[in-house]
Amino acid sequence: MSEKLFASAQEVAERAGVSRSAVSRTFTPGASVSTETRRKVLEAAEALGYHVNELARGLMRNESGIVCLIVSDVATPYRSALLRELTLLLQNAGKVAMLINTDRSDGSVDRALRQAIRYRADASIMLSGMPDKSIAQLCLRSGQRLVLINRDDEQPGPLRINLDDDEAAGRVVTAFVRAGCRKLAFANSEAGTPSLMAREQGFVAAANALGIKVSVERHGWTGYEAGKVLAQRMLTRTERPDAVFCATDLLACGFMDAARHQFSISVPDQLCIAGFDDIDQASWSSYDLTTFAQPVSAIASKAVEWLSQPQSENGDTISEQSIRLRAELVWRGSIRGG
């Protein structure tokens, strides 16, 4: 026979010599219970190893406290930093985070999300532009609150949190021009997410406004190896760029390593490089990368604050539905004059 894992509230009541409702009031914040009754209940609960069944409580209130984190590229430094911040804030808010990895496209993502819905997940947060829009629609149809981070979905209902990616890209153009650069390039992946494309389009537009043509190259996934390939393509051209804005720091790190070690190009003397995300590696002395810091803490705080707000009678969260944040430029040594 298997050993019983959980003590019940009734068992606590019997051991403490109080009613079942007294146990419930003891573990309900703000409920009225005498000091002596509270003492008896807590002592009995400690002896029996009793823990409140929050899932059962939540279902009685039609709330489970479960929040799905729908994410791709879990292992990348920026995404893991955002996950760390979100899970900490959700825990502090008394919620439970359920991770759904969307890197696969074989139906496992849909099955995982439907399982979360069966567990009555209250909300979902989509952490990137990669997951298909149908996933967001499934969340909304199931009655979940939904937070979209760095996405361009225009459907009503979700909270949308985006960065001023195009404005940031314009600041990079200014930095390159002030460093004396005139042959500008943009290195991007083929992921095509809204944030990556906004950086590309903003950079090209800002340079064109100054009469400067931009060379754009895209390759592969948004990672270190793709950055190396992009460098090999751009730096073997007849006319090499003298400044490159990489869509992410991982691309920039790969690009910089290839430029230095395969082409013996000096950064920033012969080539200025900028990235985006301000991952830990960007500050390492081997890169010293000028980049933009993703406001990770602000993104996570806005998301969890919105999910914690009460809803109106028709189910809408009472709050603004769109938030735009600014990425701060972090000056380091990969751009001359920075």
What tens digit of pLDDT does each residue of 272-327 get?
Answer: 999 999 999 999 999 999 999 999 999 999 999 999 887 655 555 555 689 999 99
Q: What is the pLDDT of residues 223-232, one digit of tens each?
A: 999 999 999 9
- State yes or no: pLDDT of 138 exceeds 80: no
Half-sphere exposure at residue 220, Cβ-oriented, CA atoms within 13 angstroms: 15
pLDDT in the model for residue 296: 95
Q: What is the pLDDT of residues 210-265, one digit of tens each?
A: 999 999 999 998 899 999 999 999 999 999 999 999 999 999 999 999 999 999 99
Contacts 24+ apart (CB under 8 A), 280-289: 280/77, 281/77, 281/249, 281/253, 282/249, 282/252, 282/253, 282/330, 282/332, 283/332, 287/252, 287/253, 287/256, 287/334, 288/332, 288/333, 288/334, 289/249, 289/252, 289/253, 289/256, 289/332, 289/334
- State yes or no: pLDDT of 71 exceeds 90: no
Report CA-CA distances (Å) from 200 to 185, 296, 337.
10, 21, 23
- State yes or no: pLDDT of 14 exceeds 90: no
pLDDT in the model for residue 285: 96
Among 123-132, 167-176, 266-275, whose mean pLDDT is lowest? 123-132
- Could you please state the CATH topology (level 3) that the domain comprising 9-52 is classified under: 434 Repressor (Amino-terminal Domain) (1.10.260)
- State yes or no: pLDDT of 172 exceeds 90: yes
| CATH 3.40.50.2300 fits domain 165-294 | yes
- State yes or no: pLDDT of 109 exceeds 80: no
pLDDT in the model for residue 332: 96
Among 155-159, 207-211, 315-319, whose mean pLDDT is lowest? 315-319
- State yes or no: pLDDT of 104 exceeds 80: no
pLDDT in the model for residue 1: 41
- CATH homologous superfamily for the domain 65-163+296-325: Response regulator (3.40.50.2300)
Ranges of each domain in the chain: 9-52, 65-163+296-325, 165-294
Q: In percent, how much of the chain has pLDDT > 90?
A: 52
- State yes or no: pLDDT of 51 exceeds 70: no
- State yes or no: pLDDT of 2 exceeds 50: no
106 or 248: which leads in pLDDT: 248
Residues 6-30, mean pLDDT to the nearest whole number: 81
- The residue ranges of DSSP E strands in 133-233, in sequence order, are 145-149, 159-163, 184-188, 214-218
Residues 4-28, mean pLDDT to the nearest whole number: 80
- State yes or no: pLDDT of 10 exceeds 60: yes
143 or 288: which leads in pLDDT: 288
- State yes or no: pLDDT of 144 exceeds 80: yes
- State yes or no: pLDDT of 8 exceeds 80: no
Q: Can you tell me the distance from the alpha carbon of 87 to that of 70, in angstroms, rounded to the nearest whole number?
A: 12
Q: Of 284, 268, 220, whose CA–CA distance to 247 is shortest? A: 220
pLDDT in the model for residue 320: 61
User: Matching CATH topology for 9-52 and 65-163+296-325?
Assistant: no
Confidence of residue 87 (pLDDT cuts 50, 70, 90): very high
Residues 13-37, mean pLDDT to the nearest whole number: 83
Please state whether beta strands 328-330 and 291-293 pair in parallel, antiparallel, or not at all (unpaired).
Answer: antiparallel
